[in-house]
């Protein structure tokens, strides 16, 4: 074994080390004055000293700025004046760099290398106590789920255990006699009812199931894979709802029956028509639990997974944009408020952000927009939603079909022990031991493996070399094969699956969730051509089985049959859940504080709220322009730093036609009313599309539910309400749902406490815009222009940020009058399409006050706003309520005086008011109801500072 250390020459500053040093200071540790990061490589194999020197000098180090140290004796002694912590991946965790090192060494013409591992060695300067060193290690540098500290006795290349085949059967009869069914259920994450059905099934067959069979059933029947709560038989206060999804969300889509919906609810993502030639597809997923225990890896594999959903749509789509929405605990959460075994929100946030960015950037997919929300209840259960949009030729939009005799081809990454039991982990609740118990449930991604797969798959699609595709996601092969072969049957030879290392049992191979794998059905005649294509770009592809016609799932390992499941039982045998739901209403104390005198401070406090402040720190670290389609970016305005609404991109480079992408999410309102929370999320997503110049003509929605616990009747009642809102609004707006996802177990239990996340529904919207050149941005453009508000304001501050800042929740969340909203939106769309609108921004968190401030400072212009001219839905006594109400369906619109008459004519019959003017003097002035009193007159630079300061990290 050879060990090489690569470090920067001392004369060069170390930006990575500086970053770590900064993070250490964030922990409150001030004794560290400098950090240097050293890259450590271990090489295993028969290498001569001169070969190791060549590798070190020409490959592992950059001679201009780095030096290397090569010492066969593996020195771990601490460097002078520095304390050292060296961190490497645990055995069994994929080192994502190994493959590249082996390839690059072979490029150098060096043959003897067999394995490579990497580590990071952190040198910390200063008088650091042992306790501080431990804290730095535990809170910052090491995640025990995937990493450990290297000591002199560490062996980077531990031998992998060999595996000798032994068929494992589970004698259900004996287990039942032993009264052991409960613990068996726990082991396989099967409910009592499910296990009983399985017991009866095998009793009829007259044999015991194998472990692989039980695992297959457990994976396929998991909440993650089959959404059993949504498909349950609900007793909702006496009303029977058979399959909530079908009775609400999918029902609206069916009723709307839009001809431009090409594929809904049947595939890995939903597809709508873009133009005569192309369709666009969209899917958003959650990767919550893995991100809670290993933020970087969890989030990276979350984005990797949703990208594969797009690749696995129809006969493969090209991913063209990502959109990410995160919910975390507050970044400034006091350490003593952190539940045991939980990572600090700041660490989760930073890890998730870099996981998503590293993967998305490497894949060459622009991250075009997103959202981040903070609430203490997300501390132990962060939510990580990753969405991807794809472009697909219309003729390939529908899922393919295989025939008996077609081959099962597995492509992409190799299979390891990573991610085993991921879906059953994701379907259960987290607790303070989750980080210890779940190490195999976390995967490490490798974006380049997926990128290679993407490049070759699109070529294979265009040459029609496969007849069907799906991704290996949750449940691994067991889910992918089981789903794909449902209509035919299949034989799989598990020993043909390429492995990362030896020692995996046949069951582990079957359920592993190793990343970057896709499954294809290939006609025998095309096999040679497709294998050659994959080989030409270095993508591993293996035939692992064959489709049959007997509707059985048969698994083999080295000529032994290890499973034989009837497809009918696997897919239709699951007993339907029966659940009780009830309606309830939580009453909160009514807001009780006087109308403040100092509006300026109130406005600044909302602008500085974690949920409102600038996200530039995150956005700049995503590549949001790759692929060249950008039309409206996430940051807009005079200094490229204002908060844009929806993103607009042109997916086909030669065409002006564009897609518009937005998100709506409002968990705060759920504390008041789940129906209005869901309605508000839909309204917000649509508002953003309208705000950038889009229209409602061709807009499709995704639903993504994250609930604390859907098995409690009250909580399930709220879910019913939210689904009803989705149904109702979808119908009125004429915007069908095309795909969705849910994660219904986001509770954290410790000691005698239970933390439940707020009900969170992410609505993602995608629309088509005829001409991207007609898009508008939210920054004010010219002094002297008129400012209109569209939509009426009501005293709806329940769950608002204004109330939050005064420690109230309230009891009236913003509602949506969808019919009226639609009329207003359609008229506004006509105005923007006609070129009458210079800027438009929707009103959301912080209401009129925040929107006016954002438009002004983004445009580096001032504005005068008159509350007296704001159209109200009802009498509102308090001016602070008018300014900060979060009523839905409202916009602030900038119109040049020359377009005044035409704009007002187009909007006649709608709710709107001329509330102000854009000013060259760069301050925001707001006058009160009497038309005279100046409530606020503040330089926009101060407002901008309040908005930018919190996350200027």
Partner 1 sequence: MSKVKTLILRTPGTNCDVETSYAFELAGSETELVHINKLLAKPSLLSEFQIMAFPGGFGYGDDLGAGRVLANEVRLKLGEKISRFHESGGLIIGICNGFQALVKTGILPGPMKDGQKITLTDNNSGRFECRWTYLSVNPFSTCVFTQGLDRLYLPVAHGEGKLLGSPEVINKLNSAVYYTDKDGKRNAPYPANPAGTLMDIAGIADESGRIFALMPHPERFVRGSQHPRWTGEGLKKEGDGLKIFTNAVKWAREV
Q: Which residues are catalytic?
A: 224, 287
From the list 442, 465, 102, the residue with the least C-alpha distance to 300 is 442
- Smallest distance, Å, CB 592 to partner 1? 44
Helix (H) or strand (E) holding 743: strand 737-743
Q: Is 121 an interacting residue with respect to partner 1 (CB under 8 A)?
A: no
From the list 938, 767, 768, 907, the residue with the least C-alpha distance to 837 is 907
Give CA angle at 376 (370, 379), nearest 5°: 75
Find out whether 740 is annotated in a ligand binding site: yes
* DSSP string for 212-276: HHHHHHHHHTSHHHH-TTTTSEEEETTEEEE-HHHHTHHHHHHHH--TTEEE-SSSSSEEEE-SS
How far apart are alpha carbons 208 and 214 in whole angstroms? 10
Q: Is 33 an interacting residue with respect to partner 1 (CB under 8 A)?
A: no
- Smallest distance, Å, CB 548 to partner 1? 35
- Alpha-carbon separation of residue 760 from 16, 58, 459, 674 (angstroms): 36, 51, 39, 9
- Smallest distance, Å, CB 620 to partner 1? 5
Judged by beta carbon, residue 761 or residue 853, the one nearer partner 1 is: 853
- Smallest distance, Å, CB 936 to partner 1? 25
Q: Is 174 an interacting residue with respect to partner 1 (CB under 8 A)?
A: no
- Smallest distance, Å, CB 624 to partner 1? 6
Q: Is 637 an interacting residue with respect to partner 1 (CB under 8 A)?
A: yes
Q: Is 620 an interacting residue with respect to partner 1 (CB under 8 A)?
A: yes
The gap from C-alpha 725 to its chain's centroid, in whole angstroms, comes to 23
Q: Is 773 an interacting residue with respect to partner 1 (CB under 8 A)?
A: yes
What is the contact mask toward partner 1 in residues 840 to 879, using x (rule: CB under 8 A)? -------------------x--------------------
Q: Which stretch binds partner 1 (CB under 8 A): 68-76, 209-217, 623-631, 696-704?
A: 623-631
Contacts of residue 372, Cβ cutoff 8 Å, sequence gap at least 6: 325, 326, 327, 328, 349, 611, 615, 618
Find out whether 514 is annotated in a ligand binding site: yes
Q: Is 609 an interacting residue with respect to partner 1 (CB under 8 A)?
A: no
Q: Is 393 an interacting residue with respect to partner 1 (CB under 8 A)?
A: no
Find out whether 592 is annotated in a ligand binding site: no
Judged by beta carbon, residue 141 or residue 670, the one nearer partner 1 is: 141
Q: What is the dihedral of CA 531, 535, 541, 546, to 10 degrees?
A: 10
Q: What is the dihedral of CA 771, 774, 778, 779, to 10 degrees?
A: 140
- Smallest distance, Å, CB 312 to partner 1? 20
Q: Is 775 an interacting residue with respect to partner 1 (CB under 8 A)?
A: yes
What is the contact mask toward partner 1 in residues 317 to 356, using x (rule: CB under 8 A)? ----------------------------------------
Find out whether 900 is annotated in a ligand binding site: no
One residue of 148, 201, 362, 712 binding partner 1 per CB under 8 A: 362
Find out whether 616 is annotated in a ligand binding site: no
How far apart are alpha carbons 109 and 106 in whole angstroms? 5
One residue of 120, 308, 633, 944 binding partner 1 per CB under 8 A: 633
Q: Count the Cβ atoms, other than its own, within 10 Å of residue 896.
A: 17
Q: Is 922 an interacting residue with respect to partner 1 (CB under 8 A)?
A: no
Would you say 817 and 895 are in contact if contact means Cβ atoms under 8 Å apart? no
- Smallest distance, Å, CB 273 to partner 1? 22
Cα atoms found within 13 Å of the Cα of residue 291, Cβ hemisphere only: 33
Would you say 843 and 896 are in contact if contact means Cβ atoms under 8 Å apart? no
One residue of 159, 538, 834, 835 binding partner 1 per CB under 8 A: 538
SS3 17: helix
One residue of 107, 200, 436, 578 binding partner 1 per CB under 8 A: 107
Q: Is 615 an interacting residue with respect to partner 1 (CB under 8 A)?
A: no
How far apart are alpha carbons 741 and 298 in whole angstroms? 17
Judged by beta carbon, residue 113 or residue 816, the one nearer partner 1 is: 113
- Smallest distance, Å, CB 900 to partner 1? 20
Would you say 221 and 185 are in contact if contact means Cβ atoms under 8 Å apart? no
What is the contact mask toward partner 1 in residues 427 to 466, using x (rule: CB under 8 A)? -------------------xxx--xx--x-----------
Give CA angle at 952 (22, 387), nearest 5°: 100
Find out whether 928 is annotated in a ligand binding site: no
Q: Is 197 an interacting residue with respect to partner 1 (CB under 8 A)?
A: no
Would you say 299 and 355 are in contact if contact means Cβ atoms under 8 Å apart? yes
Judged by beta carbon, residue 219 or residue 388, the one nearer partner 1 is: 388
The gap from C-alpha 55 to its chain's centroid, in whole angstroms, comes to 39
How far apart are alpha carbons 270 and 541 in whole angstroms? 27
One residue of 434, 478, 663, 777 binding partner 1 per CB under 8 A: 777
Contacts of residue 243, Cβ cutoff 8 Å, sequence gap at least 6: 230, 231, 232, 233
One residue of 536, 549, 561, 568 binding partner 1 per CB under 8 A: 536
Pairing of strands 517-522, 2-8: unpaired
Judged by beta carbon, residue 654 or residue 909, the one nearer partner 1 is: 654
Q: Is 623 an interacting residue with respect to partner 1 (CB under 8 A)?
A: yes
Question: How much of the chain is helix, strand and coil, in % rounded to 5?
Answer: 35, 25, 40
From the list 782, 724, 804, the residue with the least C-alpha distance to 899 is 782
One residue of 59, 79, 181, 543 binding partner 1 per CB under 8 A: 59
Q: Is 834 an interacting residue with respect to partner 1 (CB under 8 A)?
A: no
Q: Is 537 an interacting residue with respect to partner 1 (CB under 8 A)?
A: yes
Q: Is 62 an interacting residue with respect to partner 1 (CB under 8 A)?
A: yes
Would you say 789 and 882 are in contact if contact means Cβ atoms under 8 Å apart? no
Q: Which stretch binds partner 1 (CB under 8 A): 67-75, 274-282, 626-634, 712-720?
A: 626-634
Q: Is 115 an interacting residue with respect to partner 1 (CB under 8 A)?
A: no
Q: Is 363 an interacting residue with respect to partner 1 (CB under 8 A)?
A: yes
- Smallest distance, Å, CB 953 to partner 1? 10
Q: Count the Cβ atoms, other than its own, within 10 Å of residue 109.
A: 8
From the list 248, 282, 247, 244, the residue with the least C-alpha distance to 262 is 282
Find out whether 23 is annotated in a ligand binding site: no
Identify how many contiguous H helices and E strands the chain contains and give both numbers: 32, 40
One residue of 49, 65, 463, 589 binding partner 1 per CB under 8 A: 65
One residue of 335, 654, 753, 875 binding partner 1 per CB under 8 A: 654
* Residues at the site binding partner 1, with contacts judged by CB under 8 A: 12-13, 15-16, 18-19, 58-60, 62-65, 96-97, 100-101, 103-104, 107-109, 357, 361-364, 446-448, 451-452, 455, 536-538, 619-628, 630-633, 635-638, 640, 650, 653-654, 772-773, 775-777, 779, 781, 859
Q: Residue ranges for the binding site for substrate? A: 308, 443, 513-515, 743
Binding-site residues from annotation for ATP: 283, 703, 740
């Amino acid at each position: 074994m050879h060990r090489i250390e690569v470090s920067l020459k001392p004369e060069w500053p170390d930006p990575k080390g500086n970053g770590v040093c900064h993070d250490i200071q964030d922990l409150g540790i001030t004794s560290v004055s400098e950090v240097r990061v050293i890259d450590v490589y271990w090489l295993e194999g028969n290498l001569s000293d001169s070969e190791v020197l060549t590798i070190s000098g020409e490959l592992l180090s950059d001679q201009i700025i780095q030096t290397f140290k090569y010492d066969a004796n593996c020195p771990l002694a601490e460097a002078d004046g520095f304390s050292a912590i060296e961190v490497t991946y645990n055995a069994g965790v994929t080192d994502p760099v190994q493959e590249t090192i082996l390839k690059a060494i072979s490029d150098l013409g060096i043959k003897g290398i067999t394995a490579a591992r990497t580590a990071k060695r952190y040198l910390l300067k200063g008088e650091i106590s042992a306790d501080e060193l431990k804290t730095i290690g535990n809170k910052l540098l090491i995640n025990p789920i995937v990493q450990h500290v290297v000591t002199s006795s560490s062996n980077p290349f531990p031998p992998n255990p060999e595996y000798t085949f032994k068929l494992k059967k589970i004698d259900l009869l004996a287990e039942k006699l032993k009264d052991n069914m409960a613990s068996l259920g726990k082991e396989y994450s099967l409910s009592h009812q499910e296990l009983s059905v399985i017991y009866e099934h095998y009793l009829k067959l007259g044999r015991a199931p194998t472990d692989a069979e039980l695992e297959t059933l457990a994976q396929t029947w998991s909440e993650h894979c089959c959404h059993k709560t949504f498909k349950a038989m609900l007793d909702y206060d006496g009303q029977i709802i058979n399959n909530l999804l079908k009775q609400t969300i999918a029902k609206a889509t069916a009723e709307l029956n839009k001809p431009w919906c090409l594929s809904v609810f049947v595939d890995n993502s939903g597809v709508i028509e873009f133009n005569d030639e192309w369709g666009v597809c969209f899917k958003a997923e959650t990767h919550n639990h893995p991100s809670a225990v290993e933020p970087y890896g969890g989030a990276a594999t979350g984005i990797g997974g949703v990208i594969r959903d797009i690749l696995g749509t129809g006969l493969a789509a090209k991913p063209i944009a990502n959109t990410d929405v995160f919910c975390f605990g507050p970044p400034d959460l006091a350490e003593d408020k952190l539940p045991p075994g939980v990572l600090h929100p700041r660490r989760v946030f930073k890890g998730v952000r870099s996981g998503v960015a590293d993967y998305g950037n490497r894949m060459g997919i622009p991250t075009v927009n997103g959202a981040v929300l903070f609430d203490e209840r997300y501390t132990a259960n962060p939510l990580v939603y990753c969405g991807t949009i794809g472009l697909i030729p219309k003729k390939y939009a529908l899922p393919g079909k295989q025939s008996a005799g077609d081959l099962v081809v597995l492509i992409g990454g190799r299979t390891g022990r990573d991610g085993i039991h991921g879906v059953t982990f994701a379907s259960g609740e987290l607790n303070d031991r989750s980080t210890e118990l779940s190490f195999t449930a976390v995967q490490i991604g490798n974006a380049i493996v997926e990128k290679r797969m993407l490049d070759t798959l699109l070529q294979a699609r265009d040459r029609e070399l496969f007849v069907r595709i799906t991704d290996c996601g949750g449940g691994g092969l067991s889910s992918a094969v089981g789903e794909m072969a449902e209509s035919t049957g299949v034989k799989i030879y598990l020993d043909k699956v390429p492995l990362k290392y030896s020692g995996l049992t046949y069951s582990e191979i079957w359920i592993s969730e190793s990343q970057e794998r896709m499954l294809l059905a290939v006609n025998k005649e095309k096999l040679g051509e497709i294998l050659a294509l994959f080989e030409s770009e270095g993508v591993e592809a293996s035939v692992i089985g064959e489709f049959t016609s007997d509707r059985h799932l048969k698994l083999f390992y080295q000529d032994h049959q290890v499973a034989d499941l009837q497809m009918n039982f696997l897919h239709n045998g699951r007993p339907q859940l029966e659940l009780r739901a009830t309606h309830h209403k939580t009453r909160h104390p009514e807001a009780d504080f006087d109308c403040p005198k100092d509006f300026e401070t109130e406005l600044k406090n909302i602008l500085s709220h974690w949920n409102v402040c600038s996200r530039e720190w995150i956005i700049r670290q995503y590549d949001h322009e790759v692929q060249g389609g950008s039309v409206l970016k996430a940051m807009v305005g005079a200094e490229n730093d204002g908060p844009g609404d929806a993103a607009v991109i042109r997916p086909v480079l030669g065409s002006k036609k564009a897609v518009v992408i937005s998100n709506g999410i409002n968990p705060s309102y759920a504390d008041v009313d789940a129906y209005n929370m869901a309605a508000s999320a839909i309204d917000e997503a649509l508002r953003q599309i309208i705000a950038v110049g889009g229209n409602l003509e061709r807009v499709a929605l995704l639903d993504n539910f994250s609930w604390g616990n859907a098995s409690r009747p009250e909580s399930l009642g709220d879910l019913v309400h939210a689904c009803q809102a989705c149904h109702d609004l979808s119908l009125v707006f004429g915007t069908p749902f095309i795909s969705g996802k849910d994660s219904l177990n986001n509770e954290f239990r410790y000691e005698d406490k239970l933390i439940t996340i707020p009900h969170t529904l992410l609505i993602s919207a995608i629309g088509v815009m005829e001409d991207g050149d007609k898009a508008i941005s939210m920054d004010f453009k010219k002094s002297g222009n008129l400012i209109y508000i569209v939509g009426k304001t009501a005293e709806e501050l329940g769950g608002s940020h204004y109330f939050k800042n005064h420690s109230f929740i309230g009891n009236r969340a913003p509602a949506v009058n969808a019919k009226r909203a639609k009329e207003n939106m359609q008229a506004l769309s006509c105005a923007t399409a006609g070129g009458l609108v210079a800027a438009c921004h929707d009103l959301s968190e912080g209401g009129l006050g925040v929107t006016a401030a954002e438009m002004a400072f983004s445009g580096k212009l001032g504005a005068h706003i008159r509350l007296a001219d704001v159209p109200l839905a009802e009498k509102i006594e308090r001016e602070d309520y008018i300014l900060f109400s979060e009523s839905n369906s409202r916009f602030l619109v900038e119109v040049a005086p020359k377009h005044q008459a035409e704009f007002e004519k187009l909007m006649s019959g709608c709710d709107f008011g001329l509330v102000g003017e854009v000013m060259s003097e760069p301050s925001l002035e707001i006058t009160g109801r009497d038309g005279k009193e100046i409530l606020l007159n503040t330089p926009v630079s101060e407002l901008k500072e309040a908005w930018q300061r919190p996350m200027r990290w």
